[in-house]
Chains A and B, each alone.
Chain A
Amino acid sequence: MQLHAITLFFLSLWLQPSSALHESDAGVVDWHKSFVGVPNIDTKHTAPTFHEASQQSVLLTATRSNALAALNPLTGSVEWRYVFDPQDNVVTYQKQGSVVASLSGPGGANLRSFNVFNGEMLLEKSLHRPNTGLLIQPNSLGTYIAFGKQTREIYTLTNGRTVNLVNGSDISWTWTAEEQGSQVLYSALSVTEDALYLVGLEASFASYALHVVALSPTSGQVLSSSTLPSSISNGLDDFLVLPNAIVWLEDGVLKHFTLSPSLKGKVKSQKSASFKKLVDVGLSSHGIFMAYQDDTTDQLISITNGELGVTKKFNPSAQSLYTGQIGKDGQPYITCLSWSPNTQAASAEVHSLEPGALVAEYSLPFDANTHGPVIHVAMDLLTDSRARLFLTTTTGAVQIWEGSQHIWTREEGLSELNAVKFVELPERVSVLGEGLSEEGFVERLLRQAKDAKDLPGYIVHFIRRFATGSYESATSSAIVHPSSVSATQIPFRDAFGFRQVLVSSTAYGKVYGIDTGNGEILWSRTLGTGHERGTKIVPLADKMFVLKNVADVDASSPGTGPEIVLLGDSVTEDSTVKNVLLFHLNALTGQDVIQHSKSDGDLQGSSIASKPIDDAYILELEGHKIVVLIDSQFKVHLYPDNAETHRLFSAATASLSAPLRVTSAQGHRRLVGHQFDKKEIVDASDQEKFEYTAFPTWTFSLPEGHDVQAIVAPIRNPVASLGKVLGNRTTLYKYLNPHLLVVLTAPHSTTVLTPTAHCGLYLVDSVKGSIIYEASLPAEGNACNVKATFAENWLVYHYYDDEYQGSGQAKGYKMVTVELYEGKQVDEKTLSSSLSSYSDKMVEVTAYEQSFIYPHAISAITLTSTKFGITSKDIIVANVNGKIQSISRRLLNPRRPIGRKPSSEEQEEQLIQYDPLLPDDPRKVISHNYDVAHVRSITTSPALLESTSLVFAYGLDLFLTRVAPSNTFDVLNESFNKLQLVLTVMGLAAAIFVTRPMVRRKKLREKWYY
């Protein structure tokens, strides 16, 4: 016994390092795609711009993923990016020379400045406490950055009322607007040599008036202040601040006021035309801006010597975008990009403001079917007639065009995936000549001879493989090189199934098929908006279902493959959900399965529900998969909607139940269990048809003022063992209730938070509503940030514990592991997995739990999954500091002996002594040196090898790797010396060959002598 334990101990010591990632495997078994996010074009202060300094050009942008990034315009690579914390959202940036400065947080609480070329942080300064920040929408309101003469002088406007001059790392002066009777919200700064003009809107009766304060740039003294006689109805969009003037629209009339330190002057107006909107096209430093007159005319207006003058008139088509830049000759240029959905190209016109007018005109072969319409354009003038354009599209793609030449595309939409599914690939189809039924002997011989043409190659390959032992190993790359003959064939799997298709949809309405071997995009489809304009498709988060996996596919019929069903809301411009569309596509090619619409056009969805849906599920009945949708009126929609699914569903209705999140009249979110009712309807064709509705059966009662925050569905994978065998060979039977789900609750947002506010975690039986396990967890600050994952009978959750009473306890992140077993003691079984939820025995559960200190905050947690569930499961967590880490099941065993050495029986179970701290083992960081930023979710998928699981983490970045929690026990070790084995066997064979005649001769001789 002792000996056995010692052997095990050494074995575990020896195995430990091998579970870490080898340096040679990094980049082979994993890949990492770094993104910056979709450019935030809501305001011009976050929109992408080109910046050129010291002969280098970079593209700067703030993004919706809360990053500030610089892209290389030539290669499309990320020069640098700075990812802000989620609560510290970037609101504005400004650049000058080699410095880019940003404000972030509520009201612009934090100022940072970076080297524009390498992203080195030059300055980080907190201007006010984040909790005193102004919380208004849009976030960028009331913040502004302006540079002084030198790049070390940064004027900041924060909170809409405070101006700071940050010189170097010190604040030279601060000016804060006094609290007046009428609140003025300042929103723009303009720096001149004489004065710093601060422009804001003063709320007055029914409209706003412009208020200007002139400050001394050196001391911050108020030089003068004045409220302009103006009446602005629309707010921020209706005025622009130019270096020496303010222009605004007043009932369609363009007015302007020339700024001077004394703020004396007259408001002038131009009554010649009526305008709708003023737009800064990037030439405001030259006093040039764009005014939209009506649908057919846009005017470029410049201000010279205090007088407004129309510089140019444009007659745009339906969709025109303008961007301006100062050319190398110091002259302003403007580009108009016109695009219409009907044509396959966009046309660009580059204008100089010199009397020469049009400089260049060309068309870009822009593919709107793939990328969606262009919504923003930025220009960099290379030569007088050649412009570099940076396009941002609705699907989140960004592109650079030089002239009419496409340089690169980045699919930044992938930074906002909202549903991901792994789909296994079919085996490579070896195309053999089909035997005809009526072929003669000669024909058949010829055909077979033709089929045998690859035989020599195969034999050579076989011999080489046999002799050198170069088999597929568990750490070999999953990149499969398609044979040169058929380059466009459908993807196929590798030997161990590491190559799969990741079907993923983005919040921008695009679906991608990503190769798990190398992260390349195999196909992508834009979700079509139908034929209606102004609507967009927003795929529902996590509502993607595999309707047919590779085993369900009839291999004999060509053109079929695994199928994916995706649900998307059709959202109108005023963000109301019009109806729910269902997209049914082939996971290998992205082709539409229902309508076989054109492979190059938009993917057209079919409308499945005319009301927003509450929830959608996939249900497997007798081998048929049915997508079940429940709409807000509790009506059930089935897909595929045919007689077979109706028959199956109708047979199962009585035993079916679903927990739904229902928002009560008071705005409280509740969990309500539903069952289904069927009602026969007779339609015109006299067919027997049923209509199904869900009716409530139970409500999950929560403490007063608590809300359901999230529901974590269990990870369903095959269960290899029904129990846990202990060292004395008794059994703890696993509590395998298939209806359990994890419900996370949080205090309702409207309730007054008390210091004793708690978050709740419940394991609820979704059929009966009974609570199997519950925990009350301390709230972090006043937010609940509990992460949990649940599979089989194992629950792991992570929370921040800031409660401590006296010594021996500490604040920190805790990870709790809970295992549920049937009955009260060992060997007691209630057959929970086949028991009715209404049985009394269903609540006879023993929970073993232990709590550990985990040193990091996490943003996502999941479990590995394998094909048969035999391999032990590891916990995979994403730290907030950009690392993906695996935690061994052994460490998270809740039966680890506390305060004593494990007994010999416990050692047989591989239990180790309890240690409150989960070791932060750098060898367990599966993302090694990658910075996987802002991981929102992790999914795992089994490979064909039982030992190995694929792990995919997505957030701002995408990261995929393989893990083998119990080591790769089902493949021969790579260090196994195949050559030596072959040589030994061959040597022995040769020895037999040599010695056999010798032995025979000797035997013969012996017969003579005896």
Chain B
Amino acid sequence: MSTSLQYSSLETTSRWKNLPPPPGFSEASSSSKGNISSKAVATPSTTPEAYDQLKDKRAWDLAISPAKSLPMQFFMLYMSGSGVQIFSMGIIFMLLSSPFKNIAGMNEAFASFAPSASKNPKSLSTLTLQKLAYFACNLLTLGVGLWKCRSMGLLPTGTGDWLAFETRGPAPELSLL
């Protein structure tokens, strides 16, 4: 059984919603003191809107999470030096591969934060803003990785990197020497 928090259980559409509360628990257990409680005063946490707000907030958290780890990555890169060694290569590999992995799994990652109203939580159109931010943050990580590659001389940016692929044809004239 998964131990992770299932935000989806909060949703109104959830099938667990219709189950009766356990014995001794009422729907308004927290506010059942006295008669103030009434059906009209609903706790905000349980309303679908409240859930959606919470999910929205969580989704933003996820969207900017790659940017949050950047200072740490900068520090690691600084510590690893500019030499081409196994340690720095590992970090570079992580920096270069994780953005692509993240972006590939973006819809999956944001599916659980989809608003309750959305028909298809895994579609690209849900949570567009957050996804764009997430995309940008991952590009930032990638950029850091590329910057590091460049400083290590691993990016084929100069003409010298493509020299081996250049070819020349024979000269049009022949000379007897």
Chain A residues close to B by CB (< 8 Å): 1, 3-4, 615, 617, 619, 628, 652, 655-659, 713-714, 716, 721-723, 725-726, 728-731, 736, 738-739, 741, 766-767, 827, 831, 833-837
Contact = CB atoms under 8 A, between A and B. Distances in A.
B82 A738 contact: no
B177 A741 contact: yes
B34 interface: no
Contact of B173 (A729, A736, A741, A836): A836
A739 B173 contact: yes
19 contacts: A1-B83, A619-B174, A652-B174, A659-B176, A716-B177, A721-B164, A722-B166, A726-B160, A729-B157, A729-B158, A729-B161, A730-B159, A731-B163, A741-B177, A766-B177, A767-B175, A834-B168, A836-B172, A836-B173
A385 to B, nearest CB: 61
Contacts of B157: 729
B81 interface: yes
Interface in B83-135: 83
Interface string B61-89: 00000000000000000000111000000
A94 B164 CA distance: 67
A721 B160 CA distance: 10
Contacts of B158: 725, 728-731
Given A721-B163, A725-B158, A658 B176 contact: yes
Interface of B: 81-83, 153, 157-161, 163-164, 166, 168-177
Nearest to A736: B168
B163 A657 contact: no
Pairs A-B, 6 closest by C-beta atoms: A729-B158, A725-B160, A658-B176, A617-B176, A834-B169, A739-B175
B173 A3 contact: no
B174 A827 contact: no
A723 B163 contact: yes
A469 B168 CA distance: 43
A937 B28 CA distance: 108
A513 to B, nearest CB: 26
Nearest to A729: B158
Given A4-B83, A656-B174, A833 B160 contact: no
A731 B176 contact: no
A836 B169 CA distance: 11
A655 B172 contact: yes
A728 B161 CA distance: 11
Contacts of A836: 171-173
B171 A738 contact: yes
Contacts of A730: 158-160
B155 to A, nearest CB: 9
A837 B83 CA distance: 45
A631 B109 CA distance: 85
Given A721-B163, A730-B159, A657 B83 contact: no
Given A3-B83, A827-B159, A714 B172 contact: no
Given A723-B159, A725-B160, A728-B158, 15 more contacts: A1-B83, A617-B176, A617-B177, A655-B174, A659-B177, A721-B164, A722-B166, A729-B158, A730-B158, A738-B175, A741-B177, A767-B173, A767-B175, A834-B168, A837-B173
A104 to B, nearest CB: 39
B159 A739 contact: no
Contact of B177 (A1, A725, A739, A827): A739
Contacts of A713: 177
A729 B176 CA distance: 36
Nearest to A617: B176
Contacts of B153: 729
B81 to A, nearest CB: 7
Contacts of A726: 160
Determine which residue in B82, B163, B170, B175 has the highest number of CB atoms from chain A within 10 A of its CB, and name it: B175
Determine which residue in A615, A723, A729 has the highest number of CB atoms from chain B within 10 A of its CB, and name it: A729
A495 B166 CA distance: 33
Contacts of A767: 173, 175
A730 B81 CA distance: 24
B177 A729 contact: no
Contact of A731 (B83, B160, B171, B174): B160
A4 B153 CA distance: 13
Contacts of A739: 171, 173, 175, 177
